[in-house]
Structure 1
Amino acid sequence: MNCDCLIVDDEIELAKATCEYFEMFGVSCAYVTNANDCMSFTENNSVKLILLDINLGADSGFVLCKALREKTDVPILFISARQSDDDVLIALNIGGDDYIKKPYSLSVILAKVKVILKRYEGKSIVDKSNDTNSSSLNDNICGELRIEVDAMKVYISGKDAGLKTKEFKLFYYLYSNKNKVITKDELFAQIWGDTFFSDGTLNVHIRKIREKVEENPNNPRYIKTVWGTGYIFELLEH
């Protein structure tokens, strides 16, 4: 079965209503109510996007997200009635792509899902056709920093930095536009395929990249913040 969206929520009526609403507008959808059924469904079916609740009865959406991230990089959008900033940060830190607070508007969440699906449909992990700044698919960025696009890896002094897929996409997009200020909206559109995401989503991913590639993440050499605007991958010509 090919499924655009899988809803993982133990509120059966809400999950069912959301699923039926999506189907009305051409988004194929299924729902499960617990972690075991989610893992089984994703193992036996193709899923493009997951809406994941945090509270799943005896299960935790946080634990489930970590398990999913071991095997898939499909967008995971947390949906939860929990409102605290700590919950949002945990969700983003463990691999969630966004956090949507309940109660949500069906029309708004559908718009968000359709934009993400449109962006991901038929797209490769990295759109190499838009890369006009790098001279090859495997670049020595500088002495100790090297990028291999086909393998989606960044190496620091010969050691794999361990970037996850979305982290690599973000790193590579900034590098492809090196020495140019890239706005947050552009990054949301190009990397997440959506401009609805919160700044927290982007900030967490940038921080995790810096922790993996920068010698001093608090004083980055490469990925620098342009306050109020976005980020720049600064690479001085030698």
Structure 2
Amino acid sequence: MMNESVKLLLVDDDIELCELLIEYLGTEGFDVCAVNDGESGVKAALSGKYKLVLLDVTLPKLNGFDVLKKIRQESDIPVLMLTARGDDVDRVIGLEFGADDYLPKPYNHRELVARIKAILRRGRPVQAEGAAKFLQMDDLSLNLSNREATIDGAPLELTATEFQVLKSLIEKAGELISRDDLTQVALNRRLTPYDRAIDMHVSNVRKKIGTRQDGQPRIKTVRGAGYFYIRP
């Protein structure tokens, strides 16, 4: 149970499901507002009123992917995609567009709450005493107090999940981190069969940070094992 009511936005055209989730998530300490089409979802998500968006893929006016793209153009608010069970393509596309995680329908309500809480934990800044805490690697700098990242002094636009993935890799630079362990430490959950979330997040981070100035990669993939940040 959350200490204070946390405002969530639910974007889904299934009105009965929305009513059910509003009631259930309310018992878990969440204040849920539901909208039933994509255009309304974009407007509400960018209003600054909510801590997280629960976003269905199939929506009228704008589908979930278009909604996510428009949100990511202006905001890094956490987004949990709700996808059809077994539709791996939807999951991959959602993660490529910047979703923090996905959950296939029909889902267990306890699992939904666990995913929401895990995503919200990723976005919490470190409570540092005195000066801000930083991680520095190459020309990358991570401010752990406000979760801002820069590369060669320029702001680096990362979602809370991408920040956590990069932080986890840098903290163990030069060491191989298995997919299982990286999922646990960066996504706050266990790796499940056919789960590609961590792979897509690493891919997104790799694209955003690019290569070193000499053209050498920063992150190495060890096929079938995991990832590590290459020390300079």
1:4 corresponding residue in structure 2: 7
- Give the structure-2-normalised TM-score: 0.77
Instruction: Flag structure 1 segments of 5+ consecutive residues without an equivalent.
Output: 130-135
Q: Distance in 2 between matches of 1:17 and 1:70?
A: 31
Amino acid at match of 2:134: L
Alpha-carbon shift at residue 176 of structure 1 (Å): 2.2
Aligned to 1:61: 64
Decide which of 142, 150, 158 is 1:164's aligned counterpart: 158
Q: 1:154 aligns to what?
A: 151
- Shift, 1:17, TM fit: 0.5
Q: Is the 8 A contact 2:149 2:155 kept in 1?
A: no
User: What residue number does 2:227 align with?
Assistant: 231
Confirm or deny: 8 A CA contact 1:11 1:33 kept in the other structure.
yes
Shift of 1:60: 0.8
Offset from partner CA, 1:44-103 (integer Å, 9 cap, x none): 452122110111123211111011112322221111336432222111100112222212
Cα 1:140/1:232, change in 2 over 3 Å? closer
* Coordinate RMSD, CA, aligned: 3.1
60-69 vs 219-228, greater mean Cα deviation = 219-228
Percent identity, aligned pairs only?
Answer: 28
Q: Distance in 1 between matches of 2:155 and 2:202?
A: 14
Q: How far off is 1:104 after superposition? A: 1.7
The one-letter amino acid of 1:98's match is: D
Contact 1:181 1:232 in 2 (8 A): yes
Structure 2: which 5+ residue stretches go unaligned? none
CA-to-aligned-CA distance 1:114-169 (integer Å, 9 cap, x gap): 3333x247x21xx486xxxxxx837462xxxx0132451224xx8x5955234343
Q: What secondary structure sits across from 1:95 in the alignment?
A: coil
Q: Per the alignment, do residues 193 and 28 of structure 1 end up closer, same or farther by CA in structure 2, a change over 3 Å counting?
A: farther
SS at match of 1:179: coil
Shift of 1:227: 4.2
TM-score, scaled relative to structure 1? 0.75
Answer yes or no: is 1:209 the counterpart of 2:205.
yes
8 A Cα contact 1:7 1:32, kept in partner: yes
> Are 1:161 and 1:212, in contact at CA under 8 Å, matched by a contact in 2?
no
Q: Which amino acid aligns with 2:149?
A: M
Question: Aligned match of 2:40 in 33, 37, 46?
Answer: 37
Contact 1:9-1:56 at 8 Å conserved across structures? yes
Q: Aligned pairs, how many?
A: 216
Match of 1:25 among 17, 23, 28: 28
- Counterparts of residues 86-101 of structure 1 (less than 5 Å): 86-101=89-104
Instruction: Tell me, yes or no, if structure 1 residue 70 matches structure 2 residue 73.
Output: yes
- SS, match of residue 50 in structure 2: strand
Task: Give the counterpart letter for 1:152 in structure 2.
Answer: A
